[in-house]
Structure 1
Amino acid sequence: MTFNSLILIWFDKNKRNLPWRQHKDPYKIWLSEIILQQTRVAQGTAYYLRFADTFPTVRDLAKADETEVLKLWQGLGYYSRARNLHFTAKHIVNELNGIFPENFKDLMKLKGVGEYTAAAIASIAFDEALPAIDGNAFRLYARYFNIHVDISSPQAKKYFFELGKQVIDPNRPGDFNQAVMEMGATICVPVNPKCGICPVNNSCEAIAQKTVELLPIKSKKVKVKQRNFHFLDITAGEKFLIKKRIENDVWKNLYNFPLFETDSIDQQLEELNLNLSLIKEHEEKHILTHQRLQIVFWKANVDEAELKNLAEKLDSEIISQKELEKYPLPRPMEKYFSKKYKV
């Protein structure tokens, strides 16, 4: 049997019963693919169900307020995905009459949709025979064919895409791409792959050559930026200051306490002529893909008059704990409120 027939037989018997596999609706498939970028299936499934229930059609999503979309996304991270999701929904409704693009080329024109996502949607929803090359596909193909091309190199994506076009099943391209993803996620995993139960272990070149643990090759190292964030929990009774992040930076369009990025919060307050008595409430490290954030939460109790004065100085708004539930928050803020205020 061929490589693609073997993994399709395996897929038919072992595929997980995931909600977006129950239909070929391009909107729901697109929604699942965007949510599952940088997200494990176990975590992403609950978010998919909430989004699909809240916004059952692309028109429903397009009509939503961005704050509502970001709030629903809260805790999933990589918030540019949510902003792109909302932007693209509005584009499809307003510019494409609510009709999803039906091929890889046109899907690639959508904001937030790259080659992998476009190929996944095109193959699953529209049976276009193009391979969806993600980390799972890189790993499975590199091992099965014993490929020593560095997957972080510029030529790797094209190399594996062309290989994928040769092996994809033209009659079941969507199932084939999902089978590759499923194999990479459950069998051909990065560490301690389950070669003993792999459906293609008899013809796997990496097993034959004893190179499984060496593949795929990835030499490029991610540069990690160190940053120091100081959040000011400035409170008057049950009211406090909160500010929308409008900069093109982490957590864009989410809300947090007034924030200073500095090595010395005391020096920063002195430079801004802010006379605040601060108590350190909490400190933590928050790891992002390319950034490591050292975060400190400082508490300052003030009266209502001073709170209004500081709101103007810090370009912030005053809200109560009861109003907080409608605001999308970065994960560190969400955890802080949960711990300190039981919100």
Structure 2
Amino acid sequence: MKSSTDIRKMRDNLLAWYDAQGRTLPWRVRPEDRARGITPDPYAIWLSEIMSQQTTIPHATPYWEKFLAEFPTVIDLANADREQVMAMWAGLGYYARARNLYKCAQIVRDEFGGVFPQSESELLKLPGIGPYTAATIAAICFDEATNIVDGNVERVISRIFRVQNPLPKAKNELRDLARALASPKRAGDYGQALMDLGATVCTPTSPKCKACPWQTFCAAFKAGDPTDFPKKMPKKKQPIRYGAVFILLRGEEILLERRPDTGLLGGMTGLPGTEWASKPPKDPFAAAPAMRNWEKLDGPEKDGRVKHVFTHFELRLDIYRAETAQKPDGHWVAVATLPDQAVPTAYKKALRAAGLPT
């Protein structure tokens, strides 16, 4: 543990570094902006945090800009058609976030009059807002002294204290150590500064230790082994699941289906297909619309399949295409509108393999 004197110096050094070198992000209100009287918009910050989970800021930013343009306030988002929200989310992945985003907006509209709660404890009660997001919004928007810990912060803290316990077992230990350092003053700036430090200086490989405001206090730097931290458990081999999808065309229309709200890709628009299993389906046409003349397409991968990697498994899909003069029951849409549909990336890959627009 650091002494109280060291902690004060660490806080001061980090904030001075942030004032000079912290990132400028579309949704961020930097110290010089605050000095001009600009305050963070909780709605914009909430959107940015939800969208940035499990993805990069460059990938999330266009979605954030598109949502704010279409839904300028949380009430506008709550009043929107859910299908439109899901369609605009397509491509961001982790689609439970989109469902919770919509649900959360409606709760803020109905129970809080369109104004976000101002404390970490109240924010935690909203759907889709976990400890990290609640702490971040409360600190940035309402200057509550919270303990913001994301993956970047875990890396920084693990190196500062040279934590030997591996992730994910070390998460609670890292949170406790981060809490001891967290600044009660300029809480929002401190939290953003610490995340920036991990994102731009204390990076996973080739950390820029000479530029780090905490170099003097870093145990891993002194030991000469910063890239050995954080320690991690050995990765398990990722399982593979197999399935088939069916692209059924009728003139300029294509048959789609909406996936159930629960489960992976819940609530999104997909292609008809088989279940995803540990072995390729023996009879994929048992799940296909009753017709003949299915053509198996060559996927872009070497084995002729489309591949898509989820967090916990790799999916391999065989693609079948057919045209029909009849119109089986189902959700038919114009092929030209496919780019506007809430189609996840895994299905977009199949559509592209069939030469269709996405």
Fold in common (TM above 0.5): yes
Please say if 1:14 is aligned against 2:29: no
User: Distance between the aligned counterparts of 1:215 and 1:73, measured in 2?
Assistant: 34
Offset, 1:223: 6.6
Is the 8 Å Cα contact of residues 339 and 357 (structure 2) preserved in structure 1?
Answer: no
Inter-partner Cα distance in structure 2 for 1:233 and 1:267: 17
Contact 1:137 1:184 in 2 (8 A): yes
Provide the identity percentage.
35
Shift of 1:16: 1.8
Residue 249 (str. 1) matches residue 263 (str. 2): yes
**Map of 2:229 onto structure 1:** 215
Structure 1 residue aligned with 2:314: 292
Aligned-partner residue type, residue 89 of structure 1: A
Three-state SS of the structure 1 residue aligned to 2:115 is: coil
Letter of the 1:7 counterpart: L
Match of 2:74 in 1: 58
TM-score by length of 1: 0.90
Residue identity in the other structure for 2:9: T
Please give the alpha-carbon distance, in whole angstroms, between the structure 1 residues aligned to 2:262 and 2:214. Answer: 46
Instruction: Kindly report which structure 2 residues correspond to 1:141-220, keeping only aligned pairs within 5 A, or say none.
Output: 141-153=157-169, 156-219=170-233
* 1:330 is aligned to 2:344: yes
CA–CA distance in structure 2, aligned partners of residues 254 and 272 of structure 1: 19
In structure 2, the partner of 1:106 is 122
**Inter-partner Cα distance in structure 1 for 2:149 and 2:236:** 20
TM superposition shift of 1:203: 2.4
Q: 1:181 to 1:66 in 2, by over 3 A?
A: same
2-structure distance, mates of 1:259, 1:270: 10
CA distance in 2, matches of 1:38, 1:104: 21
1:239 lines up with 2:253 in the alignment? yes
User: 1:217–1:264: structure 2 CA closer, same or farther, 3 Å change rule?
Assistant: closer
Contact 1:244-1:256 within 8 A present in 2 as well: yes
Shift in Å at residue 337 of structure 1? 3.7
Does the 8 A contact of 2:243 with 2:280 survive in 1? no
Of 85, 95, 99 in structure 2, the residue corresponding to residue 83 of structure 1 is 99
Taking the aligned partners of 1:138 and 1:273, their CA distance within structure 2 comes to 50
**Of residues 50, 58, 62 in structure 2, which corresponds to 1:42?**
58
Residue 34 (structure 2) aligns with: none
Q: Could you tell me how far apart the structure 2 residues matched to 1:16 and 1:41 are?
A: 12
Calculate the aligned-residue CA RMSD, in Å: 2.1
Supply the AA of the counterpart residue of 2:14.
I
| Aligned 8 A contact 2:335 2:357 in 1 | no
The answer to whether the 8 A contact 2:161-2:220 is kept is yes
Per the alignment, residue 301 of structure 1 pairs with 323
What amino acid sits opposite 1:113 in the alignment? I
SS for the counterpart of 2:104 is helix
Residue 116 of structure 1 deviates from its aligned partner by 0.7
Pair 1:5 & 2:19 matched: no
- Partner residue in 2 for 1:278: 294
- Tell me the secondary structure at the aligned position of residue 274 of structure 2: strand
For structure 2, the residue ranges without an aligned partner over 5 or more in a row are 1-7, 30-38, 300-304
- 1:2 match: secondary structure: helix
Q: Provide Cα deviations, 1:134-165, integer angstroms capped at 9, x if missing partner.
A: 11111001101222233311xx3333233222
Deviation of 1:55 after TM superposition, in Å, equals: 1.1
Question: What secondary structure, in the 3-state scheme, does the structure 1 residue paired with 2:248 have?
Answer: strand
Partners of 1:335 and 1:271 in 2: how far apart?
A: 20
Which sits farther off after the overlay, 265-274 or 39-48? 265-274
- Supply the AA of the counterpart residue of 2:81: D
Is the contact between residue 152 and residue 220 of structure 1 (CA under 8 Å) also seen in structure 2? Answer: no
- TM-score relative to the length of structure 2: 0.87
Indicate how the Cα distance of structure 1 residues 220 and 128 shifts in structure 2: closer, same or farther if over 3 A, else same.
farther
Specify whether residues 273 and 250 from structure 1 end up closer, same or farther in structure 2 by C-alpha distance, changes over 3 A only.
Answer: closer
Partner of 1:259: 273
Cα drift, residue 272 of structure 1: 7.3
Per-residue Cα deviation, 1:82-136 (whole angstroms, up to 9, x for no partner): 1111110001111222221111111111111111111111111111111111111
Aligned equivalent of 2:356: 341
Structure 2 counterpart of 1:133, one-letter code: V
